[in-house]
Amino acid sequence: MTSIARRRLAAALAGLPAALPARAQERYPSRPIRALVPFTAGSSTDLRARSFGHYISLDWGQPVVVENRPGGNGVIAAEAVARARPDGYTLLYGTNSTHAANVALVPNLPYDPVADFAPITLVTNSSLIVVVNNALPVHSMAGLIAYARAHPGRINYAVGNTGSMAGGAMLKALAGLEMTQVSYRSTPQGVTALLAGEVQLMVVDGGQVLAHAREGRLRALATTGTEPHPGLTELPLVSSLPGMEGYAVFSWIGLFAPAGTPRPVILQLNAKMREIAGRPDMQAQIAAEGSSYRVGSPEDLAAFVRREIEDWRRLVREGQLRAG
């Protein structure tokens, strides 16, 4: 049990006799809900949080305040929720950064992504797209790899989160390329730099670049998943290239509460997220970004997080990624 979890348990036990009658009578939600997003406004996580928050507010009659807390690869927002009162009024839209990659990449992580959180539901799980600036003289993944090998150190690739970091780093490792990582505070900033020609390459969430690719402002080369990208079905898989068979990178979003949040509240939130995700307008919204919802049970998300943590530890152990 982490120090956060121990403090929370001690505080809960100390206040139990006085708190029980009031809590037993309180209808949830009876006041505003705060949803923390570990990235800047305009990121895919931010857009999903605001979409769900809008409908939860309408349906339950309580505001859902989306609060952007970028920084520290998601650590700032995740730690704030881990330390919050476990009453269902402070939630986190966590990602592969906060709940998987940070375990392997961030020394002395100040929270435990398993012990300090109550999973609610997975929201999305999407493959990424490899895109390049139009000035780069390549039109396929094979062409990109050949160019990068012929021009070592010439390509800079943008990183806005751990998904794009993993995508670029695994490409370097598996193809044996010399490329330079350029980190940005958020994915939208990285995409802006790519459009401006400050960097030449990015492995990125489809929702951030689909419009640019379709309208010819960026060139999409391949997708990082194990099946065609729903937004650009004509793209090949990176893993279809010789020597790249083990390449697969995904970006996901999940909803979490602090550990110790009452089970009825978790189930109420889960049921509402499932219901909203099934609405035609929400389905259309996510389909336009070339993605899909993956809502399920709290137990599904808990098992998924554990698998993701082990996958990121393996990537660091095998040298495809470097721990901080």
Three-state DSSP at 33 gives strand
Amino acid at 134: N
C-beta of residue 273 within 8 angstroms of C-beta of residue 120: yes
The token pair that represents 42 in the structure block:
């305009």
- Confidence tier at 285 by pLDDT (50, 70, 90): confident
Report the half-sphere exposure of 31 (CA within 13 A, side-chain side).
Answer: 6
Instruction: Examine domains 3-126+251-317 and 127-240 and report if their fold is the same.
Output: yes
CA separation for the pair 259, 309 (Å, rounded):
18
- Confidence tier at 8 by pLDDT (50, 70, 90): low
> Which is more confidently placed, 77 or 5?
77
Interaxial angle between packed helices 44-60 and 263-277, expressed in degrees from 0 to 180 and rounded to the nearest 10: 110
CA separation for the pair 261, 234 (Å, rounded):
44
In terms of Cβ atoms closer than 10 Å to its own Cβ (0-12, 13-18, 19+), residue 42 is: middle
Q: What are phi and psi of 114, to 5 degrees?
A: -100, -55
Given a cut of 70, whether residue 324 has pLDDT beyond it is: no
> Which is more confidently placed, 301 or 18?
301
Residue 18: the pLDDT is: 41
- Confidence tier at 237 by pLDDT (50, 70, 90): very high
- Confidence tier at 21 by pLDDT (50, 70, 90): very low
pLDDT in tens, 176-207: 999 999 999 889 999 999 999 999 999 998 88
Which range among 169-173, 253-257, 305-309, 319-323 shows the weakest confidence by mean pLDDT?
Answer: 319-323
- Positive or negative, the CA dihedral 226, 182, 103, 207 is negative
Three-state DSSP at 35 gives strand
- DSSP class of residue 179 equals -
Residue 207: the pLDDT is: 84
C-beta of residue 126 within 8 angstroms of C-beta of residue 137: no
Residue 206: the pLDDT is: 86
Residues 6+ apart with CB under 8 A from 317: none
CA separation for the pair 101, 97 (Å, rounded):
5
CA separation for the pair 135, 72 (Å, rounded):
32
Residues 6+ apart with CB under 8 A from 189: 40, 160
| Pick among 3.30.70.100, 3.40.1260.10, 3.40.190.150, 3.10.105.10: CATH of 3-126+251-317 | 3.40.190.150
Residue 15: the pLDDT is: 45
Given a cut of 60, whether residue 267 has pLDDT beyond it is: yes
Mean of the per-residue pLDDT values of the chain: 90
Residue 131: the pLDDT is: 97
The token pair that represents 133 in the structure block:
């600036």
CA separation for the pair 156, 203 (Å, rounded):
12
127-240: what fold? D-Maltodextrin-Binding Protein; domain 2 (3.40.190)
Given a cut of 60, whether residue 214 has pLDDT beyond it is: yes
Place of tokens 């995409």: 191
Given a cut of 70, whether residue 82 has pLDDT beyond it is: yes
- Confidence tier at 3 by pLDDT (50, 70, 90): low
- DSSP bridge pairs for 132: 201, 219
**Domain edges within the chain:** 3-126+251-317, 127-240
